[in-house]
Structure 1
Amino acid sequence: MNENHILELEEEKSELGKVEISPEVIEVIAGIAASEVDGVATMRGNFAAGVAEKLGRKNHGKGVKVELGEDGITVDVSVIITYGVAVPEVAKLIQTNIKQALQTMTAIEIQAVNVHVVGVQFESVELAEEE
């Protein structure tokens, strides 16, 4: 999907004008919704997102890719889960939370929410970071 492409809400066109939603906004909404799920340790982003976070800039769209299709949008989410959780259950909760958040906030038709589990975070890593 082209980064500059804007999603237009057909049903929101009125005499007052139209509503356009940037894909970056959808990425942020999906990223926050995924992060809220218990069992998600962190979102997985690219190298540039990691550098930006180390410099103090929070990237809520990290680990989320949005594609526009004929039947709606497809959201791909890459997550690192907490060791010991049931992966299928956490993935299903991520899908449900993202779909509900996007439908509530944007009214855009969601074709699919694909969850990619790309890592596991162990408790010992969390304890080391706290000390």
Structure 2
Amino acid sequence: MSIDNLEFDVTEMGQIRIAPEVIEIIAGLAATEVRGIAGMSGGVAGGIAELLGRKNLGKGVKVEVGEKQCAVDLSVVTEFGTRIQDVAAEVQSNVKRAIENMTGLEVVEVNVHILGVTFKNDEKEEEVAVSPSPRLR
């Protein structure tokens, strides 16, 4: 599988192609719908894009797409006080369901990487991030 591949289906009318970026957006939106997820963590490139005024809807999402299957890696920030294992499991389920329902692809894995925790104060929100391990870079 390669991120450069496009999902395609041949019908009587022609081919249907789904770009990997579309799957990234679906996965990112499905992940942020889960209670306990404060946001996606896109690293330096995502932060620069946001500073330039471009909202990156696929921020913190990496996909590998084959002809009929895909794998997803998500980098997220959780809210303090939530049970991380439960939140991550719900993210996996929601992302898998959304991609399969919208694209027809079989999702073979959804890997959730927790890269930070958000603490909410009365006046401001503070985020504490952890340094990713070398294998996640």
TM-score category of the 2 structures, normalised to the smaller one? 0.7 to 0.9
Secondary structure of residue in 2 paired with 1:19: strand
In structure 2, distance between residues paired with 1:127 and 1:35 = 23
Secondary structure of residue in 2 paired with 1:122: strand
Q: CA RMSD in A?
A: 1.9
In structure 2, distance between residues paired with 1:55 and 1:70 = 34
Select the structure that is richer in helix.
1
Identity over aligned pairs, percent = 48
Secondary structure of residue in 2 paired with 1:93: helix
Query: Paired residue for 1:103, among 90, 100, 103?
Result: 100
Give the counterpart letter for 1:37 in structure 2. V
Q: What is aligned with 2:54?
A: 57
Q: What is aligned with 2:19?
A: 22
Deviation of 1:127 (Å) = 3.2
Q: Is 37-46 or 63-72 further displaced after alignment?
A: 63-72
Q: Deviations over 1:28-73 (max 9, x none)?
A: 1000100111111110103121111122211110000001358721
How many equivalent residue pairs? 125
Q: Is 54-63 or 20-29 further displaced after alignment?
A: 54-63
Q: What is aligned with 2:123?
A: 127
Give the counterpart letter for 1:82 in structure 2. E
In structure 2, distance between residues paired with 1:66 and 1:49 = 16
Q: Is the 8 A contact 1:42 1:80 kept in 2?
A: yes
In structure 2, distance between residues paired with 1:4 and 1:72 = 14
Give the counterpart letter for 2:40 in structure 1. M
Q: Tell me, which stretches of 5 or more residues in structure 2 are unaligned? A: 126-137
Select the structure that is richer in strand.
2
Q: Is the 8 A contact 1:71 1:111 kept in 2?
A: no
Q: What is aligned with 2:128?
A: none
Q: Tell me, which stretches of 5 or more residues in structure 1 are unaligned? A: none
Give the counterpart letter for 1:40 in structure 2. I
